[in-house]
Amino acid sequence: MKWVLGFFLLALGTQGLASAQDARNTNLLPDAASASRPVPNYQPITSSQRSGWLVKSTVGPTSLLLAGPLSAAIGTARNIPSEYGTHWDGFGKRNGMRLTGIATGNLIEAGLGAVWGEDPRYFHSPTRGVWPRVKYVIRTTFLAPHRDGRWHPAYARFAGDIGNNFLSNTWRADSISNSKDALGRTMLGFVGKLAGNAFSEFWPDLKKHLHPENGVPDRTRLP
Q: What is the pLDDT of residue 157?
A: 98
Contact indicator for 150, 36 with CB cutoff of 8 Å: yes
Q: What is the pLDDT of residue 56?
A: 95
Q: What is the pLDDT of residue 37?
A: 67
Q: What is the pLDDT of residue 15?
A: 44
Q: How many CB atoms lie within 10 A of CB 119?
A: 25
The reply to whether the predicted model has a pTM over 0.85 is: no
Q: What is the pLDDT of residue 209?
A: 79
Contacts of residue 133, defined as CB under 8 A and 6 or more positions apart, other chains included, come to 125, 127, 201, 202
- Alpha-carbon dihedral sign for residues 48, 148, 120, 24: positive
Q: Which residues of the chain have pLDDT under 50?
A: 1-29, 31-36, 215-223
Burial 125-154 (b: 16+ CB within 10 A, else e): beeeeeebbbbbbbbbbbbbbbeebbbbeb
Give the three-state DSSP class for 129. Answer: coil
Q: What is the pLDDT of residue 186?
A: 96
What residue spans define the domains of the chain?
2-213
Q: How many CB atoms lie within 10 A of CB 34?
A: 10
Q: What is the pLDDT of residue 212?
A: 66
Q: What is the pLDDT of residue 128?
A: 87
Q: What is the pLDDT of residue 220?
A: 43
Q: How far apart are CA 20 and CA 26, in angstroms?
A: 13
In the chain, which ranges are continuous DSSP H helix? 2-21, 47-59, 61, 68-78, 88-116, 130-142, 155-167, 179-210
